[in-house]
Amino acid sequence: MAKEKDSETHRIDDILRYVGEFGLWQKFLYFSSCFLVIVPSAIQIASLVFATGTPKFHCVTPNVTCEESKCCDNCTTYAFDKSFTSTVTEWNLICDKKNIAALVQSLFVAGMMAGSIFFGVISDFFGRRFCLFLCSALAPGVRFCGLFIIFYFPPLLCGCCYNRSVVGHYVYILELVGCSYRTLAGKVQDVFWVIGACITVMTAYLVRDWRQVLLIGSIPAGLFYLLWSVFPESLRWLVARSRLESAHAILMKYADKNSVTVDSETIMSMLEECKAASKRVASEVKRSPLNLVRTPRLRRRTVILCYNWLVLSMIFYGIMLYVPSLAGNMYLNIFLMFVSDLPHTPMAWIVFKRFGRRIPHCVFMMISGLSCLFVLLVPEDLKGLITALALIGRFFGSASFSNVYLYSSELYPTTIRNMALGTCSTFSRIGGMVVPFIIALAQLPGVSVTLPLVILGILTIIAALMSLWLPETLLSNMCETVQEIETSKENYGFIWMGKPRPPLISFPCNSAQDSNKANGENAHVLAENPDKSQKGRLSEEPEDQKETTPLTTAEDGSPESNI
């Protein structure tokens, strides 16, 4: 089955190589869709800070003194500073009402979880293109309604639409290009994410009212309809649905725009082969959620990875919601937080290629956690240093997310990989739903304002240490079945400049036999034949996995997603 699945994928990629993997027309579709989908989606998530964030406040009750942004037992009236308005300032959602504000923030993430299921079904049955346009239509309307009606339901629907727009677009652009450009396609779109987030910060700086920020942010999503007739349906979805004529027309247009001369009958013949292979795979693939915990190795990997995803999501959302409480200019802090996503992407990509997955992931998580814990050592008068530590923690936490998607994909066999990523992603949403309540603890009287950072730091360090019980996957072949996971050699060594090295200490989860083989014979083989091993590794590496943000939910693999 695995061999048929691989050959099926190669046939589709061969067609794209024949007509052009990333030609002129595909580039237009790619960059225009990124601008019209990713930028509005980034605006939507970034506006969450200004629409539901808590500005600094102080007690104005006579003869009562409280610390800034802290609740006091004897204080009955509080005043917010004039940095910005939000639902918190409008309905006074602080102190005894702080859980209401946290609930609104967590509902957005809950909507993302629900949207991955509901719109995932729509995407499989009605196509990627239809799903993208449906979400682009609903998101602005829901945000507009949120300006005038109760604020609980709109965040839930916004989360649904946001998640489906991002994930649906990610699937769409990966199915748009050939395998040689998948990593590029997945990485370049992150630039548009930063653009959208920075636009939101600048808009919020100029317009300090949360309703107007949401209203302005809902406009770009409607621009997607200007190119309704331009964007074609996903080629792979059309083949899986046996709509070969439509797929043939798209491929011929690719070739024409790319100035490539192709034979029409040859393309149709290749499409028919892909269709036949798709039906064989669909009839043979059998999945069960119990496979994730069926064997000892899979149980260990599932527990560790789910916890890591949960903590990484808490770092991402937690520090983003915590920024308004930090010292310094709030708008500058948020701007720097989003812009930092640009340099960490190439940095993480190089590090994970040169030094493997396991140790860099642990180191990045450890730096993130320690940065949050170091706030305990900072004197109260050095509030700017606390801000810097929080942003450093967020930077390395976000960089870890550029590894965890790929690392998780390599740790699971092909037969349950999509289901495993969907499970891990579910835990990340749970983390995003819980963290607003942790951030709200900073308002409690007698509690340090740095308590949320300390909690996040402790959880992150635990996740970093747990990740050491995962094997290294760089330069290792990906397993196809659950049985292969249990019989394959696990390497608990480390990678240095692309070459394997033996482990410095022995891990109890790694048997002596596996350790000797993985770091003795196997490491020797890898060192002797680096070119051959690397070639095999590159051919199997799941480069089409999202690697930058925690905002993307892995889709459980439908037959057409494996074409």
The DSSP result for 200-269, as a single string, is HHHHHHH---HHHHHHHHTHHHHGGGGGTTTSPPPHHHHHHTT-HHHHHHHHHHHHHHTT----HHHHHH
Helix segments in 440-478, DSSP class H: 451-466
Q: At what angle do helices 451-466 and 383-411 cross, to 10 degrees?
A: 30
CA 134 to chain centre: 22
For residues 354 and 215, give the distance between their C-alpha atoms in angstroms, rounded to a whole number. Answer: 45
* DSSP conformation class of 175: T
Contact present, 49 and 201 (Cβ < 8 Å): no
The DSSP result for 347-391, as a single string, is HHHHHHHHS-SHHHHHHHHHHHHHHHHGGGGS-TT-HHHHHHHHH
For residues 535 and 524, give the distance between their C-alpha atoms in angstroms, rounded to a whole number. Answer: 17
- Residue 150: what pLDDT? 47
3-state secondary structure of 302: helix
CATH number assigned to the domain with residue range 289-494, chosen from the 4 options 1.20.1250.20, 3.30.390.50, 3.10.450.50, 1.10.10.10: 1.20.1250.20
For residues 198 and 337, give the distance between their C-alpha atoms in angstroms, rounded to a whole number. Answer: 10
**Non-local CB neighbours of 486 within 8 Å, separated by 6+ positions:** 295, 296, 297
Question: Strand pairing of 499-501 and 494-496?
Answer: antiparallel
Total H helices, total E strands in the chain: 24, 4
Confidence of residue 556 (pLDDT cuts 50, 70, 90): very low
3-state secondary structure of 559: helix
For residues 364 and 233, give the distance between their C-alpha atoms in angstroms, rounded to a whole number. Answer: 39
At 467, list the tokens: 């990740």
For residues 372 and 9, give the distance between their C-alpha atoms in angstroms, rounded to a whole number. Answer: 44
For residues 314 and 452, give the distance between their C-alpha atoms in angstroms, rounded to a whole number. Answer: 11
Put residue 248 in one of left, alpha, beta given phi > 0 → left and psi -120 to 50 → alpha: alpha
CA atoms within 13 A on the CB side of 150: 4
Residues 232-255, mean pLDDT to the nearest whole number: 85
Domain boundaries, the chain: 9-281, 289-494
Percent with pLDDT over 90 in the chain: 17
3-state secondary structure of 288: coil
Mean pLDDT value across the chain? 77
For residues 281 and 156, give the distance between their C-alpha atoms in angstroms, rounded to a whole number. Answer: 36
At 383, list the tokens: 């509030």
Phi, psi of 16 (to 5 degrees): -65, -35
* Residues, the chain: 563
Contact present, 450 and 375 (Cβ < 8 Å): yes
For residues 44 and 41, give the distance between their C-alpha atoms in angstroms, rounded to a whole number. Answer: 5
- Tens-digit pLDDT profile for residues 536-552: 444 444 444 443 333 34
Cα-based distances in Å from 233 to 24, 81, 175: 17, 49, 10
Q: Poorest-confidence range of 22-36, 227-241, 548-562? A: 548-562
For residues 146 and 135, give the distance between their C-alpha atoms in angstroms, rounded to a whole number. Answer: 16
- Tens-digit pLDDT profile for residues 53-101: 888 888 988 888 888 888 888 888 889 988 788 888 888 888 888 888 8
- Tens-digit pLDDT profile for residues 392-451: 999 999 888 877 877 887 888 867 776 787 788 888 889 989 999 999 888 888 788 889
For residues 237 and 216, give the distance between their C-alpha atoms in angstroms, rounded to a whole number. Answer: 34
Nearest C-alpha neighbor of 167 from the set 428, 546, 559: 546
Single-letter amino acid, residue 520: G
- Residue 56: what pLDDT? 87
- Residue 104: what pLDDT? 80
- Residue 396: what pLDDT? 93
Confidence of residue 464 (pLDDT cuts 50, 70, 90): very high
Contact present, 143 and 217 (Cβ < 8 Å): yes
Largest CA distance in the chain: 87
Which of residues 513 and 140 earns the better pLDDT score?
A: 140
Helix or strand (DSSP H, E) at 59: strand 57-59
Confidence of residue 200 (pLDDT cuts 50, 70, 90): very high
Which residue shows structure tokens 């949207």? Answer: 115
Contact present, 237 and 128 (Cβ < 8 Å): yes
Which of residues 196 and 291 earns the better pLDDT score?
A: 196
Confidence of residue 288 (pLDDT cuts 50, 70, 90): low
* DSSP conformation class of 63: T
Which residue shows structure tokens 């949320």? Answer: 452
> First-to-last CA distance in the chain?
13
- Following CA atoms 129, 135, 140, 141 in sequence, which dihedral angle do they give, to the nearest 10 degrees? 120
Confidence of residue 154 (pLDDT cuts 50, 70, 90): low
- Residue 551: what pLDDT? 38
The CATH superfamily holding the domain 9-281 is: MFS general substrate transporter like domains (1.20.1250.20)
Q: Poorest-confidence range of 68-82, 116-130, 176-190, 544-558? A: 544-558
**Non-local CB neighbours of 42 within 8 Å, separated by 6+ positions:** 192, 193, 194, 195, 196, 197, 199, 200
- Residue 550: what pLDDT? 38
3-state secondary structure of 548: coil
User: How much is the CA Rg of the chain, to the nearest whole Å?
Assistant: 25
Q: Which residues pair with 499 in a beta bridge?
A: 496
Q: Which residues pair with 491 in a beta bridge?
A: 472
Confidence of residue 242 (pLDDT cuts 50, 70, 90): confident
Nearest C-alpha neighbor of 342 from the set 192, 184, 545: 192
- Tens-digit pLDDT profile for residues 325-366: 888 888 999 999 999 888 887 888 788 888 888 899 999 999
Contact present, 323 and 201 (Cβ < 8 Å): no
For residues 188 and 30, give the distance between their C-alpha atoms in angstroms, rounded to a whole number. Answer: 10
The DSSP result for 512-541, as a single string, is HHHHHIIIIIHHHHHHH-HHHHHHHHHHH-
- Residue 389: what pLDDT? 92
